[in-house]
Amino acid sequence: SILVGDVVVRHPDLAGLDSVGELFAVDAQDADEREPAWGSFWAVPFGAAPPLPAMCRSGLPVEGGFVLRPLELSSTEKEQLLAPNKSRRLFAPRRQAHSDLGFPEPTLVSNDIFSEIRYSMAPSLVKWLDFDDIRDGTIRVFATPDFEGDVRIVTVVDEAAAAAVVAATGISGMQRKRLLQFLHAAASAPPAARWPTTANVTDGFALDVREYNNGLFPHQ
């Protein structure tokens, strides 16, 4: 996965966070009690997941919102998530980690968190960031405890998922174009001041992901 945002925040809905969690964008389809329809890249890993808790369903805004699902990572897995290499690549937890844990109950997080996610990114990326890309799982967002009640928000692009979207013919041209613009901006953006772990990133990132330029991946 490629790191595109890394910021330390203090958010009331994340106060007391004592382990790593993953933030999910959910909408009315996901809140269907009888047959929830998870985002594209979550449909298989969440095939056996129970419906969202009643509190999440009733509190979900009409426009959609966010829930936090707890994760239990080993110290090595946590280090891998928080230590990108010089190309901003890191190891994100497997999607199946949630099912391995028996789908711990999620909690609703206010939509203010979307502003924090946006704020963690370079300005050139923000205009192309879309709620649906998080819901589908192309972009993944993790929250981990930091110092004195602060929470570190790490946002990544799942390269395999992004490649699948770009290669797909059954998706809207607008979605594909938006994601390509986002990837291009990520490849060319300078390190953002709000990225504490990427403050010393070199041009190696742009070189390593040059395959995204002009909308091309290695297999195309």
Who contacts 173 (Cβ-Cβ below 8 Å, separation ≥6)?
Answer: none
- Per-residue exposure over 138-171, b if at least 16 CB sit within 10 Å of its own CB, e if not: bbbbbbbbbeeeebbbbbbbbbebbbebbeeeee
Higher pLDDT: 186 or 51? It is 51
The angle, 0 to 180 degrees and rounded to 10, between the axes of the packed helices 159-167 and 173-188 is 140
Q: Mind listing the pLDDT tens digit for each residue in 104-159?
A: 999 999 999 998 888 888 888 888 999 999 999 999 999 999 888 889 999 999 99
Q: Partners of 30 in the beta sheet?
A: none
Cβ(165)–Cβ(158) below 8 Å: no
Q: Mind listing the pLDDT tens digit for each residue in 44-80?
A: 999 999 999 999 999 999 999 999 999 998 888 888 8
* 76-98: average pLDDT: 88
What is the spatial distance between Cα 218 and Cα 220, in angstroms, rounded to a whole number? 6
Residue 144's identity, in one-letter code, is T
For residue 197, pLDDT over 50 is answered with no
